Amino acid sequence: MSLRCLSALLLFFSNSVLSTELRVCAESDNLPFSHIERTGFENRIAALVAFDLGADLVYSWQPQRRGFVRKTLGAGLCDVWMGVPADYPRVLTTRPYYRSSYVFVYGKRSLRSFDDPALRALRIGVQLPGTDMAQTPAGHALAARGAIDNVVGFPIYGEQPAAQRIVQAIAQGALDAGVVWGPAVGFFAHRERLSIAKAAAPELPFEFSIAIGVRRDARELRDALDAALARREVEVARILDEYGVPR
């Protein structure tokens, strides 16, 4: 089979598996990622991909908590989960459409490195994922350098996104800085005119590649999404810039 024949066949398959709907499960109140008013950047990218594939975008709004995969993709409520780490074991993932990292976020007093001599003196906020023996790499890196008493944890469960609460605390002077997942915080930091800088420590991954997740047996859908992401790379990058996603 020639290469051209093969790609024509794939295109045929990718259109047929989608039927006419792209069904997405997303959280209704988790800006800048997603919102019920479809104002998050993952909403925007999903709309772009659906447009590319000629499908209608249909949402099932679900809190992104324990058992999310089982209760959404697993229960047949939707076919697509936007924004999961590439190679996340519970789903089949597309090619990554962005790679970002944890960042330092700060106001007047800059904090750009875990080697900063003031690391144990500045008041620093981090996100708390809330599972036994789980922590953000930022939390681990701070603890490993003895920054414990001056670090404040913000549970991801709560009325507003943890990143938003951390930014507010810095803006109000209750904290000096934060070490937060970049895509979660860039948007809020920009609005409060705070600075951000890439965070890294040798012992742990601080960068993660982000992809779209589908059910583990939905190979054809995954391939169709891969093709759409490849075609829309420039537009995707523009959306990520608009929401201040550091890359």
State the minimum distance, in angstroms, from the CB of residue 33 to another protein.
Answer: 4
Q: Of the listed pieces 2-10, 61-69, 104-112, 226-234, which binds another protein according to CB under 8 A?
A: 61-69
Cα Rg, the chain, nearest whole Å: 19
Question: By CB neighbour count within 10 A (0-12 exposed, 13-18 middle, 19+ buried), where does 110 fall?
Answer: middle
Q: Is residue 38 a contact point for another protein (CB under 8 A)?
A: no
Q: Is residue 33 a contact point for another protein (CB under 8 A)?
A: yes
Q: Is residue 5 a contact point for another protein (CB under 8 A)?
A: no
Phi, psi of 210 (to 5 degrees): -115, 135
State the minimum distance, in angstroms, from the CB of residue 4 to another protein.
Answer: 38
Q: Report DSSP state, residue 77.
A: S
Distance CA 147, CA 210 (A): 29
* Residues 82-111 close enough to bind another protein by CB under 8 A: 83-85, 87-90
Distance CA 55, CA 21 (A): 5
| Candidate list 68, 113, 231, 235; residue touching another protein; CB under 8 A | 68
Q: Is residue 63 a contact point for another protein (CB under 8 A)?
A: yes
- What are the tokens at 23? 């069904």
Q: Is residue 174 a contact point for another protein (CB under 8 A)?
A: no
Listed residue (200, 207, 189) closest to 244, CA to CA: 189
* Residues 111-150 close enough to bind another protein by CB under 8 A: 127-137, 139-140, 142-144, 148-150
Q: Is residue 67 a contact point for another protein (CB under 8 A)?
A: yes
Listed residue (77, 70, 109, 101) closest to 205, CA to CA: 101
Three-state SS at 238: helix
Distance CA 222, CA 80 (A): 9
State the minimum distance, in angstroms, from the CB of residue 128 to another protein.
Answer: 5
Binding site for another protein (CB under 8 A): 27, 30, 33-34, 42, 62-68, 70-71, 74, 83-85, 87-90, 127-137, 139-140, 142-144, 148-153, 155-159, 161-162, 181, 183-184, 203-205, 208, 210
